[in-house]
Amino acid sequence: MPGRVEGKIACITGAANGLGRCMALTVAREGAIVVATDLQEGDGASLVSEIEAAGGRAIFLRHDVTCEGDWIAVVGAIRTRFGRLDVLVNNAGIGLPNGPATDIDLADWKRLMAVNVDGPFLGVKHALPLMRESGGGSIINVSSIAGIKASANASAYCASKGAVRLFTKSVALECAALKDGVRVNSLHPGIVETAIW
């Protein structure tokens, strides 16, 4: 019996570890061809090996989600190799800094926003045109329960994930108005034991 995403091209950022790795393994098991991106090249290579050993298909691309040039290269590689993109999961994220807002260093704040907010923005900006050319698809931006319910000493993280939530809603409305066949949703996991915590 074919999987739920049989033959679909699925790009997952932050795929080398944690939730991203679980997502990549799951969609590969369901028949997707996985484009796994991350900064962790060794872990990315082991993910591809694990998927291929189970009979799946995957490639790994080194990718800094905060770098627009990297996004252009990743989407270009997908276009060249596969000719289309069906699924984008903007999963890459970081959790620090923690602590009272008055103690957060501006450089740390900006780094967190660059990964958690700029990353999904750049992903949508550069992947959405290819997805539209492909006849539609699905974009999933990984937010957090912290994007819905705030907690003390996590203001930067909560702000970043709240931004992802509303950015996602706005892009979903844009796509709906255009009737372009692209669904845009956010995912809001609770606390999961990964390297981010």
Length of the chain: 197
pTM across the whole model = 0.95
| Domain 9-187, classified CATH 3.10.20.30, yes or no | no
Residue 123 CA to residue 127 CA, distance in Å, equals 6
The token pair that represents 39 in the structure block: 């900064």
Residue 192 CA to residue 108 CA, distance in Å, equals 22
Give the catalytic positions in this structure: 157
Contact between residue 80 and residue 20 where contact means Cβ atoms under 8 Å apart? no
Average pLDDT over residues 127-134: 97
The token pair that represents 18 in the structure block: 């944690």
Q: Give me the chain's average pLDDT, please.
A: 96
**Could you read off the pLDDT of 131-185 as tens digits, one per residue?**
999 999 999 999 999 999 999 999 999 999 999 999 999 999 999 999 999 999 9
**Could you read off the pLDDT of 29-65 as tens digits, one per residue?**
999 999 999 999 999 999 999 999 999 999 999 999 9
Average pLDDT over residues 93-103: 91
How do the domains of the chain map onto residue ranges? 9-187
Contact between residue 84 and residue 133 where contact means Cβ atoms under 8 Å apart? yes
Amino acid at 5: V
Contact between residue 81 and residue 59 where contact means Cβ atoms under 8 Å apart? yes
What pLDDT does 169 receive?
Answer: 99
Closest CA to 11 of 126, 89, 113: 89
Residue 67 CA to residue 70 CA, distance in Å, equals 5
What is the percentage of the chain residues whose pLDDT exceeds 90? 92
Q: How confident is the model at residue 98 (pLDDT cuts 50, 70, 90)?
A: confident
Is 123 a residue whose pLDDT tops 60? yes
3-state secondary structure of 183: strand
